[in-house]
Amino acid sequence: MRILLVEDEHAIGSAVKAHVVADGHAVDWARNLEEARDFARVVAHDLVLLDLHLPDGNGFDFLRALRDKADTVPVVIMTARDQISDRIAGLNAGADDYLVKPFNLGELSARIRAVARRYAQNANPTLSIGPLSIVPAERALSRDGHPVELTGREWAVLERLLLRQGAIVSKPQIEDALYALGTEVESNTVEVYVSRLRKKLGRGLITTVRGVGYRIAGS
């Protein structure tokens, strides 16, 4: 996924970004509201991780602005505010989840996957595609009953394909899930990861639509 991280504290931001990137996601890190708005204007994100106390304002303002213009991007608030009233205010403002600092990074990963799964309208925690059994929330996958290990970036590509299962996903859409703004995109990166997935999942499950993109088989 392409994730917008809005966090002004360097230590927290660095730790969150490193962890989320290790999970295979692309992260654009904004240190204040102005940068967050700039990022949001130039690229569509799959999810926002939003601090509330920022140098140039309140994260609630950014969240409300998104919802006022009918932007449905999922938002997970990350804040030291731990009162029930703060949680209620965040959810009422349009947040999809609320994490109180300090939080466990493993829990953050689980929350990201859970929110993404809800937005993909995938109520079933387990997907079956041919010989594959996939549990996206746990990033668990087996082929003919045997566990298959994927790297973070391989999961990122697979998840992007699963979000539009049976439909064509373009190369730029997959690149968006792998690269943050300002990162140089290597021309054959998508082809490399698709090739790796085919070797692990079976070659007939991901097809190439020449000149258009890739498609994973339906359930």
The domain tally of the chain equals 2
pLDDT in tens, 118-173: 776 655 568 888 899 988 777 889 999 999 999 988 988 998 888 888 889 999 88
Q: Using 50, 70 and 90 to split pLDDT, how confident is the model at 38?
A: very high
Q: Which of 83, 99, 119 is the last residue of a domain?
A: 119
Angle (CA) 97 46 53, round 5°: 50
Residue 9 is part of a domain; what is its CATH number? 3.40.50.2300
Judged on CB neighbours under 10 Å (0-12, 13-18, 19+), 104 is exposed
Digit-coded pLDDT (tens) for 159-217: 888 888 888 999 988 888 787 666 666 778 899 999 999 999 988 899 999 888 999 98
Note whether 141 and 200 are same-domain residues: yes
Q: Please report, as a single letter, which amino acid is at residue 21.
A: V
pTM: 0.71
User: Residue 147: which CATH number?
Assistant: 1.10.10.10
The answer to whether 49 touches 74, Cβ cutoff 8 Å, is no
Q: What percent of the chain has pLDDT over 90?
A: 52
